Each structure stands twice: as C-alpha cells, then as structure tokens.
Structure 1
C-alpha cells in the first residue's frame, strides 16, 4: 500500500470504533463514509491484524461529540487523492476532522506530502493525480496514531490489552 510505504507505517487504514446497542461498528471512509460491522472490518484487514487506540483519560469526555461530528461526514465519497477538503474524505481525514470539529483541537500531526517517502510510488501517484502534489497537506494513519491524545490499548499482533 502506497500510504504505508510513503509514511513508513504499519497502518494503511483506520476508523472509529463505535457501539450501537450491544453491537460494535467501525465508522470509516472506504468508499462512502459508513459504519461497518466490526467483525466484517476485521475480516477485511490484512492478516486480520489491527490495533486499537483510545483517547486518553484526559480527552475521553470528547468521545460522544467526536463520534457525532464524524458521523456528519456519512455518505461522503472516498478521497483517493488525499485532499483535506470536505467534498470527499479519506480514512485518517475522517478521524482528524471529526475530532477537530468536536474539540477545536488537532489530533495528530499534519504533514506535507513532499516530506513523505513517496518516490518509489511515483507511477501510482501520477496515475491518480497527474502530477506530484508536493505541497499537499495531509494526515496519514501513522501520524494520526502518534497523536499525544491517543493510547494504544490493544494489538492483535502484540496481544496487549490495557484497561483504564
């Protein structure tokens, strides 16, 4: 996956884990923004590997408004060009904007495309974009996962589980 390689990350996709009654879903941008049943989401992941990050205790009070704000993007088409506009949405942008809209705060570090390791992905980028968008500002799954508001609480590979 180009986003993994360019950002030197183990993450190619991300979403927001939400509970509806006694069922779990992942609010994600993968086609139109939608809620995918958690079991289906896990089965679609590479090697069924996933990590779970949670807002730390200091930020946990934002969760209801964060989910509500992210749901405002439901139905928006997927943004294959990774632009930070509201017309189309990509996975880490959904999380970034949902949190920002709910709190006014940034979640993760915005990066410039030209600062990523994009060169070996040039054919894919040119096919999608037509040119190399070196100055495009974006949020990647990796840079989102490194947000100081988040803590990793579970990893299917590492078999870690943290309780609050």
Structure 2
C-alpha cells in the first residue's frame, strides 16, 4: 500500500494540533502529588464549615506502569485507582498540588511511607498517634517522615469555626470537646505556598 505524501505545511499543522491538544489529567499527575476534593462523607459538611473551605479530603498520588492510584486515609487507609477516587468527589472537582522543590526520589519515598499505613483504621477523633489516621494527617506525616518537610499548619480544634458543630462534637468525644487538640486540615495543607498548583477545578483557591 502506498501512503500519500504529506506536505511540509500539513506536517506542521498536525504537529501544532497535537501540541495544542490538552493532556488528559491523569497524564499530568506525578507520584507524590497531593489531590484534594469535596468528599461526600457524612463529616464533610462539618469539615467545610469549620475551615471555610470546599476541600474536605486529600490523598497522595502514585503513578505506576499499571495505572494511577491514590493512597488515602478513609476506613481503612487504602490505595484506589485515581479515576475512582476522583469520581467520589462532589461534581468530580479536584485540586492537584505538587511539592516541586523536592526531588522525585523524596516524593516517591513519601508515597511509600503513606503505603506503610495501609489497612489501618480511620481516626474519627483526629488524634496524632499512628494506630489510626485521618486523611490530612497521613499526607503531612508521609512527607515529614520521608523528606523532613511539614506541609500545612497545625491548628487547635478550638481555633476553627466549630460553634455550630458543638452537639456533633460532644457526641463524638463523649461530652467535653478537646478544644486544645492540635490537628491538620485539608484546607491548611492546600494553603501551603510551597505546594504548586498543577490543576484546579475550584474557583478562588490560591
């Protein structure tokens, strides 16, 4: 079979079209990226109200030859395909942040550290022990252990907007709410200027 010859102009147009075509989101991701979305979980509303942010869940990306995955602290800590993780968020909207100042080796080490906790239960009381973890705790601890970098800012529970959540918190903690409890929120992680925006569906963030 003889294929028709393409003129130089045609080749240039084809190259330009290929270059201009947007890359699929999964193709833009790298191991170690932090991905955020608005969770559909029962406590998502409370987290958003307390932090004044649409971001209520975060996980770490792992890119492999067999696909793209997210390591996340839910019940239990697990590793799921990125497409499944993205679909769980409200309207499929996500924010992708990258610690570009860290080499790939350290980003990969952070994901490996997060995977070390696979199977552990979700921490509904937002403690800081390793026997159970919540999503933003897993992300912060992974980078702290692997790269010595603490992303986000620890905050007191009482410094968040929790007045309207008092009944729910009293039920969760069995009476007295530990307002001095220090925790890390998805919103605090996302506000760290050392993390670069790779992709965002959220208006007004960053």
**TM-score normalised to structure 1 length:** 0.90
* 2:201 aligned residue (151, 156, 163): 156
Residue aligning to 1:48: 92
| SS in structure 2 of the partner of residue 18 of structure 1 | strand
Given that residues 3 and 12 in structure 1 are in contact (C-alpha distance below 8 angstroms), is that contact kept between their aligned partners in structure 2? yes
| SS in structure 1 of the partner of residue 57 of structure 2 | coil
Residue aligning to 2:52: 8
* 1:103 aligned residue (147, 163, 168): 147
Q: Does 1:137 align with 2:177?
A: no
Given that residues 61 and 111 in structure 2 are in contact (C-alpha distance below 8 angstroms), is that contact kept between their aligned partners in structure 1? no
Residue aligning to 1:89: 133
RMSD of equivalent CA atoms? 1.3
Give ranges in structure 2 of 5+ residues lacking alignment. 1-44
1:73-96: CA deviations, max 9, x gaps? Answer: 111100111111111100000000
Give aligned pairs, total. Answer: 157
Query: Which piece of structure 1 moves more, 41-50 or 59-68?
Result: 59-68
| SS in structure 1 of the partner of residue 167 of structure 2 | helix
Q: Does 1:26 align with 2:26?
A: no
Hey, what's the Cα distance between the residues in 2 that align with 1:112 and 1:39?
Answer: 34
CA positional deviation for 1:153 = 1.0
CA positional deviation for 1:156 = 2.8
Give ranges in structure 1 of 5+ residues lacking alignment. 159-164
Given that residues 59 and 149 in structure 1 are in contact (C-alpha distance below 8 angstroms), is that contact kept between their aligned partners in structure 2? no
Query: Which piece of structure 1 moves more, 135-144 or 13-22?
Result: 13-22
* 1:147 aligned residue (176, 188, 192): 192
| SS in structure 1 of the partner of residue 196 of structure 2 | strand
Residue aligning to 1:65: 109
1:87-112: CA deviations, max 9, x gaps? Answer: 11000000000001112221111111
